[in-house]
Amino acid sequence: MTRSSVPMRALAGILSVIPIALVCIARWSPSSMAPSASVILFLVATALFHFYFMAAFASRLVVRPWGVTVVNPLVTSRLVWLEAGVFESSGLAFLTIRCADGRRIKVWAVQATNLMLMLGRPTRVDKVAEQVERWRAVHAVEAADVGPRRQLSRLPWYLWVTHATVLALAVDWYVRAFLPGR
């Protein structure tokens, strides 16, 4: 199974904590008890920012004996090995799967840095493509049916919990600021 790199997962963790901290600061700041439109806009933007990163960092590529599962922010695709075709990587910013029917699926979880692309050096995309091809040559088995081929992606529970925390703190601040006596 290949996921986002360790630095990207660490960045995702930091980015999930920052909105919570910002909403807490806005919630308990004495000046925020008289809210202005800019503070409300700030809280809404913080929640949307958090939701965006929550979805973007949930991407992954899962390699199994029957094929691959590509989980992108909005769509999950399951491909058996016969459908998967070629894993393209040379000079590309994303790992791309060229399917047997001509479709191309970008794998958001496997990305190359611009510096390596400009220098023409091997990137993480190239390494992952080689690993998947090697794994396929040794472990692949043919599968008849793997379920739905394309479906909406579901985010992991812990991402929903952190997003709910951001929204709960923002709503709590809003209620205390706008409803007198609370």
pLDDT tens digits for range 1-38: 445 566 666 666 676 677 677 767 766 666 655 556 56
pLDDT of residue 89: 81
Q: Is the pLDDT of residue 154 over 50?
A: yes
> Confidence band (pLDDT; 50, 70, 90) for 50?
low
pLDDT in tens, 55-103: 666 778 888 888 888 888 778 888 888 788 888 887 778 888 998 888 8
pLDDT of residue 80: 86
- The SS3 call for residue 82 is helix
Q: Is the pLDDT of residue 107 over 50?
A: yes
Q: Which residues of 12-43 are buried (b: 16+ CB within 10 A; e: fewer)?
A: beebbeebbebbbebbeeeebeebeeebbebb
Nearest to 20 by CA among 176, 173, 167: 167
pTM value surpassing 0.75: no
Q: Which tokens belong to 75?
A: 């769509």
Mean pLDDT of the chain: 75
Q: Is the pLDDT of residue 132 over 80?
A: yes
pLDDT of residue 165: 78
pLDDT of residue 39: 65
